[in-house]
Amino acid sequence: MVMDTLRLVLKLSRPLFLLGGVLAYALGAGIARYLGTVLNWETYLLGQAWVTLLQLAGQYLNEYYDYPGDIDNPNRTPFTGGSGALGEDKLPRRTALFLALGCLAVVASLTVMILRVVGPSSATLLVMGLGFLGAFFYSVPPVRLAASGYGELSTSILLANLVPALAFLLQVGEMHRLLAMSTFPLTLLHLAMMLAFELPDYAWDIKHNKRTLMVRVGWQRGMALHNIFILAAYLMLGVAVAFRLPFYIALPAFFTLPLGLLQIWQIRRIADGGKPNWIAVTLVPVVLFASTTYLLSLAYWTR
């Protein structure tokens, strides 16, 4: 019984999603190291714990508030449609809320500890404040960004921009142009990933009046946007090189371009009437975002 409960809590936590926060945080710290900063590992671990627990709180809140629409979702994949850990003979819905509140309590304590270690700089406070607001109001009414068409952008900015910025600020204390050059392409890849996640649930979201970005723009425009975001990410990376992002830093990220083209082909095939493989459609963008983030981070850490 206890093992079954732990298994369901693990399923509810969706640990694969937490990998994005780990990689994005490592990217920010890697940039700081590349610029000559000697990393403070106590600060690094405190910041990573803050990011991971905030992610968990956001996921638990999303599970709690999306439960009525997710419980009978016929197109659930490992990445969309809820975890499937809540419901009859599973975890009670309120478990997700209690876990979220517990994570937020620890996040508050970690915030105090981090500010005591690094000092309350305005940039750090701003990034942490925006990160909290984005994670909390993604699911929580009355804002509920997830059902407004703006949740995709807020989540992408939070994970691809604010998390690396926080890791960098905790080590350096001020921003640097390499952060923007390295993270804005990742924002576009994450936006494409979010749109891919919304395709299997498109009809279900319309039925439950969940106004995601895909629902707001329509599936045809949404698919076109998805493809544009992927191509624009690599174009932006090339522009960054032109503006003095070291080529040996950017080059490994271009190795994932074939994966991006594969994802574009999958989406175009669906748009042309092909039968979708929803697991592949949602898995490829996850691998694309994670591998690109990893390769950028690795380039900074090994130079």
Confidence of residue 69 (pLDDT cuts 50, 70, 90): confident
Tell me the average pLDDT across 200-215: 86
pLDDT of residue 297: 98
Tokens read off for 231: 């191509």
What residues pair up with 256 in beta bridges, in sequence order? Answer: none
138 in Cβ contact with 176 (< 8 Å): no
pLDDT exceeds cutoff 90 at 189: yes
Band of the pLDDT at 164, cuts 50, 70, 90? very high
Q: Quick check: 78 pLDDT over 80?
A: no
Between CA 245 and CA 93 the distance in angstroms is 47
Q: Report the half-sphere exposure of 194 (CA within 13 A, side-chain side).
A: 26
pLDDT of residue 207: 82
pLDDT tens figures, 95-109: 999 999 999 999 999
Give mean pLDDT, residues 194-223: 90
* pLDDT one-digit tens code per residue, 209-253: 888 999 999 999 999 999 999 999 999 999 999 999 999 999 999
> How big, in percent rounded to 5, are the helix, strand and coil portions of the chain?
75, 0, 20
Q: Are 77 and 282 in contact (CB under 8 A)?
A: yes
CATH of the domain at 180: 1.10.600
Give CA–CA dist 30/24, Å, rounded: 10
What residues does 91 pair with on adjacent strands? 86
Does the structure show a pLDDT above 90 at 138?
Answer: yes
Predicted confidence (pLDDT) at residue 3 exceeds the cutoff of 90: no
Is the pLDDT assigned to residue 81 strictly greater than 80? no
Q: Tell whether pTM > 0.75.
A: yes
pLDDT digits (tens, 9 = 90+) for 274-287: 999 999 999 999 99
pLDDT at 187: 98
Note down the domain range covering 191. 2-301
Count up the domains in the chain and report the number: 1
